[in-house]
Amino acid sequence: MSERLWYLKNCDLFRQLSPEQLTALESRCRVRKFPRNTPIYLPADHADGVLLLAEGRVKIGSFSEEGKQTILAFIEPGEVFGELSLMGTPEREEYAEAVEKSTVILIPNDVIQQLLGQCPSVSLGVTKLFGLRRQRVERRLKYLLFRSNRDRLVHLLIELAEQYGKPTADGVELRIKLSHQDLASIIGSTRETVTVVLGELQTEGRLKLGRRKITLTDMDQLAHSVNVASPVLSRAQA
Amino acid sequence: MSERLWYLKNCDLFRQLSPEQLTALESRCRVRKFPRNTPIYLPADHADGVLLLAEGRVKIGSFSEEGKQTILAFIEPGEVFGELSLMGTPEREEYAEAVEKSTVILIPNDVIQQLLGQCPSVSLGVTKLFGLRRQRVERRLKYLLFRSNRDRLVHLLIELAEQYGKPTADGVELRIKLSHQDLASIIGSTRETVTVVLGELQTEGRLKLGRRKITLTDMDQLAHSVNVASPVLSRAQA
DNA sequence: TTTGCAATGTGAAGCAATTCACAGACATGA
DNA sequence: TCATGTCTGTGAATTGCTTCACATTGCAAA
């Protein structure tokens, strides 16, 4: 079985497809590899299809005219991105960049469109995907509207802990390398403020800082301070 | 033909349905009327289905813990709302309120779910809907991240002009009654700042203020000041 | 190792926007 | 008609955050 096929099969969206459909799909896809820190697509690029991340990690972001940038999402293996091309928009509105060495499968527009028409399971899957991402953006919007810079940062740390947290002797270590600038770009703040707030949280004993590394030592207190139930670390990796 | 049927038929989502499907759908729906300024559903209400606005106007919003509120969207006749229940979330996350006397058609969860499975056109329509609303939220997020209070207000006015603007001798009159508080709730600001900025814009000769009424006298300049092409008023009503 | 560059830490100054407090205008129902 | 409540206008005080400027630290490539 081709590598490509395997990745397609392992994607939630296509799980329900028949072997024939899968092979047909596979034959129409292209695979590309991207080194670390290289762009996959840029704003105003031609939106030629939907992308499936096979390996690596991708970040989706957006620039303002003044050059400031925000990170909209991180994509993990098995997840789909660039899905706005399904809306019929001819151009991409954000950029995608490989954070790690990544391999990506491109599913051309006509192929996915056809699949959408034929397979209720795929179309249902896409609807769910859109809905989920929309919920996420809406939540983020609310945080931006209502909460202080500090609250937003704490909330982000908790979210990251849910997704990337690994329990250690000291506490929950975030297994994703993010600079203060990155954190700032996510919560819509500045590098300096993030540095300061993180410093405060450290002196308050809520976390420990390393270079591009954060360990949350008091999740309960952090979660409580932003009125969120302390998350149970569901899929903590070894 | 029943009133209900007529409204269903006139909704984009169901345009492609066969007469039988429509009748089947109609038999399972309920109609409710809401006076002005009454809630249709509230956060944490049981999400029993998707709603279709037949007549009137509805606003979708959200509260923070401290009681601040934001307006997420206005719904016009023929549009669907409360569609997050399609995601399987058992509870509503926002509130919906009738701004005008409104009549609403409730499509129960199981009915719409079944339809989604059977009709590709419906499922495609829902996907488009989700995608569209997500784009809108994302744009708003970017504005909130990157632009000043003033820019956001100007941008909002332009958007409102596109949707509700009516050309008059003085300029483009916004045919929707919004208080300064409402505007503030949309752009994520305070009533006072909105009052001030509107005042400034008036002395600059960009618009004229009335009680709950705004007339844009210099659309071009306004659009230019936020780097947006001046919109052509597509569907200006008499 | 050494060197260079990105990431982090810190303080001072400035500013946009919020908060608070109050006054007048208008509108609508009693 | 009056009266009450919502909507609008305005100023002073405060603040949370940004901006700018620079010092320091540590990783990674040469």
What pLDDT, in 10s, does the model give residues B104-145? 999 999 999 999 888 888 888 888 899 999 999 999 999 999
A72 in reach of chain B (CB within 8 A): yes
Report the amino acid identity of residue A112: I
Rounded to two decimals, the pTM is 0.92
> Which residues in A lie closer than 8 A to residue B144 (C-beta atoms)?
141, 144-145, 188
Distance CA A188, CA A49 (A): 29
Alpha-carbon distances of B145 from A63, A188, B5, rounded to whole Å:
11, 6, 44
User: Is B127 in contact with A132 (Cβ distance < 8 A)?
Assistant: no
pLDDT tens, residue by residue, A57-84: 999 999 988 889 999 999 999 999 999 9
Residue A176, judged by CB atoms within 10 A of its CB (0-12, 13-18, 19+), counts as: middle
pLDDT tens, residue by residue, A177-233: 999 999 999 999 999 999 999 999 999 999 999 999 999 999 999 999 998 777 766
Q: Please give the pLDDT value at position A237.
A: 40
A1 — pLDDT class (breaks 50, 70, 90) = low
User: Is A188 in contact with B68 (Cβ distance < 8 A)?
Assistant: no
The closest of A195, A21, A31 to A116, measured between CA atoms, is: A21
What stretch of H or E contains B69?
strand B69-75
How far out from the chain centre does Cα A98 lie?
A: 11
Distance CA A56, CA A78 (A): 10
In whole angstroms, C15 C1' to B179 CA is 27
In whole angstroms, C2 C1' to A211 CA is 22
Q: Please give the pLDDT value at position B104.
A: 96
Closest chain B C-alpha to A3 CA, distance in angstroms: 30
In whole angstroms, D11 C1' to B190 CA is 16
Q: Please give the pLDDT value at position A236.
A: 40
Q: Please give the pLDDT value at position B235.
A: 47
Residue B184, judged by CB atoms within 10 A of its CB (0-12, 13-18, 19+), counts as: buried
Q: Look at the alpha carbons of A37, A43, A48, A54 in this order and tell me if their dihedral is positive or negative.
A: positive
CB-based contact A210:A170 (threshold 8 Å): no
Distance CA B66, CA A41 (A): 41
Structure letter (DSSP) for residue B99: S
Residue pairs spanning A and B at CB distance below 8 A: 101
A118 — pLDDT class (breaks 50, 70, 90) = confident
Closest chain A C-alpha to B238 CA, distance in angstroms: 32
Give the 3-state secondary structure of residue B44.
coil
Q: Is the pLDDT of residue A134 over 90?
A: yes
Give the 3-state secondary structure of residue B85.
helix
Q: Is the pLDDT of residue A127 over 60?
A: yes
Q: Please give the pLDDT value at position A234.
A: 52
Segments in chain B below pLDDT 50: 235-238
Q: Please give the pLDDT value at position A31.
A: 95
Q: Please give the pLDDT value at position B118.
A: 84
